[in-house]
Structure 1
Amino acid sequence: MRETPHAVVHYSEIGLKGGNRPFFERTLAQNILRRVETLGGQGRTERLSGRILVHLEEPWPPSRWTEALSTVFGVAYFAPAYLTSLEMSAIREAILENLPPGPVSSFRISASRDNKAFPLTSPEIQRELGAAVQQKTGWPVRLKGAELDIGVEILRDRAVVYLGRVEGPGGLPVGTSGKVVLLLSGGIDSPVAGYFALKRGCRVIPIHFHSRPFGNWMGSEARAREIVRVLTRYGMEPYLYVVPIGKQQREITVRAPVAYRVILYRRLMMRVATMLARQEGAKAIFTGESLGQVASQTLESLAVVEDVAGLPVLRPLIGLDKLEIIAVAERIGTFSLSLMEGDDCCQFLMPRRVVTHPHLQDVLRAESAVDMNALAQDALKGATRVEV
């Protein structure tokens, strides 16, 4: 295929939104342009029935279009496209000039007509154009499972032609479901949770806790920054909040029962996350917890930690096992980053044995020796916003 300044973008879930559909379409169009601009492109979008056309000032190769649009949530599928007049001769020429040079095992023509005044029906368009391709190449036609699907969309005033399409990530456009914060440890799970929050249309603000001045906190922060940088491709905010809690953790270890340290660490972080979320106008807290994966993720542990959250706590990974989470992390490009060196703040002075099925009254008793609200306020004062 030649380079082209045009692409056609189709969506699916947005089409079910009824009266709110224009809002979702506008947001998707804005996100497409924002992503295009991060790769050096300039242009505009055109919203049509069931699709969005993207027009750039300069043509892009198909690989650049794929890089740009395959990470925009709300996109069902897309294709670099060529615009022609409504003359069948022009449509035929656009197809024949852009056929791949190598052999193709099979092909099909997929035609649709928004313009019902067009003189040919969709099957007639497919037969005429298919015959032209077959005459030039000798390739066989296969209506199901064809290697090359050539799309022709007849609009009111022009036709859109594309050779092959690329699946998008689906979901809802980022920004249509409100703002949330993400507890980003830098491990394997929490970046995947952030990805799923983005996929459901949330604006995601990451919060990273580390144990400065203890342990390899610099490695932990560097790892979190790299993960956020990768997730900006999917629409994550290009910054994170970094909150050192080493001093507060030391206070907990001195005053609280040993077996409850991790629970109290997590309740501290949830308190701080709630305060930061309210400062940012966020409506929920996302975490990467998966039920039963580690000792701190039993139902009882999750409940006593959530007890101090002043906002809904959402856990998109709750029913996934580790292998399923790793598969997503590898696909989105965060898995290798999560293996970078850096100390998890929950491992700070980790006791040999921890409470796995805590009761709230026992947790409150363990906290009674520590002014947790004061520790949370102190930690909040040390929070910094770091641009990536």
Structure 2
Amino acid sequence: MAKELILAKYGEMALKGLNRGTFEDILMKNLRRRLKKFGAFKLNRAQSTIYMEPLSEDIDLDEVLEHLQCVFGIAALCRACVCEKTMEDISAKAVPYLEEVLLGAKTFKVEAKRADKAFPLKSPEICAELGGILLDAYPHLSVDVRHPDVTVMVEIRDTHAFVHGANLKGAGGLPVGSSGKALLLLSGGIDSPVAGYRMARRGVHISAIHYVSPPYTSDRAQEKVEQLCQELTPYCGNIAFFCVPFTEIQEAIKKYCPEEYFTVIMRRLMMEIAQKIAAKDNCLALIAGESVGQVASQTMQAIACTDAVSRIPVFRPLIGSDKTEIVETARMIGTFETSTLPYEDCCTVFTPKHPKVRPSLEEVEKAQGKFDFTEMVNKAVEGTTMKVFELS
């Protein structure tokens, strides 16, 4: 049986210049963590590619590939047959190795990448020679260089040659952990999990914070958000989840503040609490799932009033996205069904009938100033609980 391994190819990480080694080290660490559950692997890197060689024959490489498609920092993946750098060995191994994929095809083409320029044949010559051998071995095939059913790849690299079918698309982006750590304001809706996913794709390690207001919110609502955390772990890795008791604060907002400002004041206090939790968890920024103009609290004026209390950056990766785009991403990452479960979070508690759509900061500060929330904010921070959702 031919020796097989998995090739993982970089995307934008290949352009990182002098900092590239740092990104590669983080990606290698993330891959080792992901591969551990499947068995022992030997990992090497060269020429913008990571080579993952299984050290036992009972590892299901198709299952591993599916798992690795969620790893940020990888642009493309494939299973590949390892060959000596001779056309004789490449041809001898390619015919049986590609049997399953070629028997089900009608057309094919061969592409070659010759990273080792000392190899005696040039890329067009490699394609022509291997293509002729595959046509002899599988006479039902014909060549179609424009729209083939199967593209056979031959890569001539430093120490070996590799033969494989088409690459699988990777998750792209940057390795999680390469861009620092941030705290995601995670509601039970569709948007915030997608915001967390998008920031993780930029290399940000995600923690999450959620606010509960029993008896106005149920245990099911909290369980729903915890399930969302678990569903994000294939992309984001382990997630520290902070749960904040928020009932007392919301009741005080209702009692002391003008109704039309309930939502913006609530969000300002959430920001205050989140910053304190972020500092304890070494998070450098907050992440919110807002899309400009989507609801009353997401107008530019309302967002400005919310951000006025923030002393660290607030990232809003969905700010220019419409709902259709957000829903498509939620379906793709597997959070949509959970997000649409009918359990309300604290953002829907005491929702004003006629919220102020374009509040001024002066108006909001005056409305919030009718009560001193400092002690309640500190009490909520002290009462916050934490659990960690781990990559399964």
Q: Same fold (TM over 0.5)?
A: yes
Structure 1: tracts of 5 or more residues without a match:
none
Q: Does 1:20 align with 2:16?
A: no
- CA deviation after TM superposition for structure 1 residue 143, in Å: 2.1
* TM-score, normalization by structure 1: 0.95
Q: Which residue of 2 aligns with 1:298?
A: 299
How many angstroms apart in 2 are the aligned matches of 1:65 and 1:146?
A: 26
Deviation at 1:252, TM superposition (A): 1.3
Alpha-carbon contact 2:81-2:97 (below 8 Å) kept? no
**1:123 paired residue number:** 124
Decide whether aligned partners of structure 1 residues 116 and 66 sit closer, same or farther in structure 2, where only a CA change above 3 A counts: same
Q: Counterpart in 2 of 1:182?
A: 184
> 2:387, 2:354 → 1: CA distance?
35
CA distance in 2, matches of 1:4, 1:79: 14
Where in structure 2 are the equivalents of 1:325-340 lying within 5 Å?
325-340=326-341
Contact 2:221 2:344 in 1 (8 A): yes
Alpha-carbon distance in 2 for matches of 1:311, 1:198: 18
Contact 2:197-2:236 at 8 Å conserved across structures: no
* Structure 2 residue identity aligned to 1:342: Y
1:78 aligns with 2:80: no
Moved over 3 A (4+): 2-5, 59-62
How do 1:10-159 residues align onto structure 2 when only pairs under 5 Å count? 10-37=9-36, 39-59=37-57, 60-101=59-100, 102-138=103-139, 139-159=141-161
Deviations 1:184-233 (A, max 9, x none): 102100000001001101111111112123232x1221111111111110
**Over residues 122-154 of structure 1, what are the superposed CA-to-partner deviations in whole Å (9 max), with x where a residue is unaligned?**
111111111111111131222233221211111
> Per-residue displacement from partner, 1:294-320 (whole Å, max 9, x unpaired)?
111000111101111111111110111
Given that 2:98 and 2:164 are in contact with CA atoms closer than 8 Å, whether structure 1 keeps it comes out as no
- Equivalent runs, 1:204-215 vs 2, <5 Å: 204-215=206-217
Question: Secondary structure, in 3 states, of the residue corresponding to 1:58?
Answer: coil
Matches of 1:119 and 1:17 in 2, distance apart? 32
- 2:285 aligned with 1:287, yes or no? no
SS in 2 for 1:152: strand
Q: CA RMSD in A?
A: 1.6
Q: Which residue of 2 aligns with 1:353?
A: 354
Amino acid at match of 1:78: L
Q: Is the 8 A contact 1:238 1:387 kept in 2?
A: yes
SS at match of 1:160: strand
Q: TM-score, normalised by structure 2?
A: 0.94
**How far, CA to CA, are the matches of 2:272 and 2:10 in structure 1?**
38
Aligned residue for 1:45, secondary structure, equals strand
Query: Identity of aligned pairs, percent?
Result: 35
Aligned to 2:142, the other structure's residue is in SS state: coil
Residue identity in the other structure for 2:94: I
The residue type equivalent to 1:250 in the other structure is: E
User: Relative to structure 1, is the Cα distance of residues 141 and 61 closer, same or farther in structure 2, using a 3 angstrom cutoff?
Assistant: farther
Give the AA of the match of 1:34: R
Q: What is the Cα deviation at residue 5 of structure 1?
A: 5.2
CA contact under 8 A between 1:4 and 1:61: conserved in structure 2? no
Residues 322-360 of structure 1: CA deviation (Å, up to 9, x unaligned): 111000100110000101232221111222111111111
Paired with 1:80 and 1:181, the residues of 2 have a C-alpha distance of 36
CA distance in 1, matches of 2:117, 2:31: 29
Residue of 191, 198, 214 corresponding to 2:193: 191
Q: Secondary structure at the match of 1:254?
A: helix
Matches within 5 A, 1:224-373: 224-373=225-374
Shift of 1:121: 1.2
Measured in 1, the distance between the counterparts of 2:41 and 2:117 equals 30
* Worse-superposed segment, 193-202 or 121-130: 121-130
Match of 1:9 in 2: 8
The 2-side partners of 1:115 and 1:90 are apart by 16
Q: CA deviation at 1:78?
A: 0.7
Q: Deviations over 1:79-131 (max 9, x none)?
A: 01121211222211221112243331321212112222111111111111111
Aligned residue pairs: how many? 385
